[in-house]
Copies of this chain bind each other. A is one copy, B any other.
Amino acid sequence: MPILFVIYKRKDERQMENFRFHVTTDIRFGKDRLDELPDVLNQFGKRVLVVYGGGSIKRNGLYDQVMSQLAKNDNEVFELSGVDPNPRIETVEQGAELCRKEKIDVILAVGGGSVIDCSKAIAGGTYASGDLWEMVTKRAYLGQAVPLVTILTLAATGSEMNRGSVISNLKTKQKLGFGGPNFLPKVSFLDPTNTYSVNAYQTAAGSADIFSHLMENYFDLTPGTEVEDGIAEGLMRAVIKNVPVALDTPNDYDARANLMWASSLALNGLTGASKAGTWSCHAMEHELSAFYDITHGVGLAILTPRWMAHVLNERTTPKLARYAKEVWGVQEAVPELAARMGIQKLTDYFVACGIPMTLPEVGITDETNFEAMAEQAVASSAIATKAFEPLTKEDVVAIYQACMTPTTYL
């Protein structure tokens, strides 16, 4: 007996956007495959700049493994270490100069999103002329870049499989995303065991970043994007399921593997390609990081539920209720209540992950800069015009204010 189809009827005449999807990064996923590194690098040349952050890769042995492969391969090795968590334009300038002076053939970024973002900016900065902060503020870099290979050590930003980079300028209190076709890593090594030593706080913060990328793409006004939304829902469920495992058992291979692969797929275009809108929480968080240098994922976790509650209205409720159902399994039939339950579930989840969920907990104890931050958030993004729900400067201030105290949504 045939079932009666329930046919989803279009509410308006807008359609999915045209898009180009061209993600050529060669992903080498899994453990024990660093012996592939020499062949990978030899495609580009022998002169390698190794970029990394603090000493964590020295403590966990990864640095030695990489250097031993490079020595065996007779590479000419240069190093740039000390890349900051919110990588700075000064480091980019330093790296670009080194690349030019030493005629670097390939950059090997060993680290998380900050190291990879910084390496992309260096790769472009090597060929860019003039002031490198100007290269960033132009937002699109179409010029040449030094080839980039990455070895990922933190599941978070997705930079290992996309064209974007976020660079900070502490002098001007700006943190800006920019990108270009030649920033796409040629090869990225994703070995989940390289994230075993990531501590609980960074694991939770990185996962909040992944989750935020998925939510930012998900909450968009473009209609009919079932493929993108279905993928995003699946990836969100995978993150929800695996973060607690990774926090409980830091060397659980499959949990780390799922978080790592989710990080790449959350921001390589798969969940946003056909969408026209702009992101909201990232624009607001970039100002938090620019003014206070806090951990990006934590800033996002604090902002996201407040933003959801702020934009909850008659028009946005259906998508928020769908999110509650498909991502969190909320079975409530009243849409607005379901939406609120979804926001609460997200909040409870971040709390359970050990993420500080108010601004005072991360050291932001007064509202002095909120006006200036809100102004800059609106100025340097399209949140006032193209967001899921348009946000004025006053909206942004109200969202920052809501982050000052614990909140519940039911």
Contact = CB atoms under 8 A, between A and B. Distances in A.
B233 A227 contact: no
Contacts of A262: 227
Contacts of A227: 234-235, 238, 258, 261-262, 265
Interface of A: 1-8, 10, 15-33, 223-227, 229-238, 241-242, 244-245, 248, 252-255, 257-258, 261-262, 265, 270, 273-274, 345, 348-349, 351-352
Given A234-B230, A241-B8, A24 B21 contact: no
B224 A254 contact: yes
Copies in the complex: 2
13 contacts: A3-B351, A4-B352, A16-B254, A19-B30, A22-B25, A223-B254, A224-B255, A226-B258, A230-B231, A230-B233, A230-B236, A230-B238, A231-B265
A84 to B, nearest CB: 30
Nearest to A223: B254
A21 B29 CA distance: 8
A231 B235 contact: yes
Nearest to A247: B5
A30 B273 CA distance: 11
A186 to B, nearest CB: 10
A244 B9 CA distance: 11
A32 B265 CA distance: 28
Nearest to A36: B20
A328 to B, nearest CB: 11
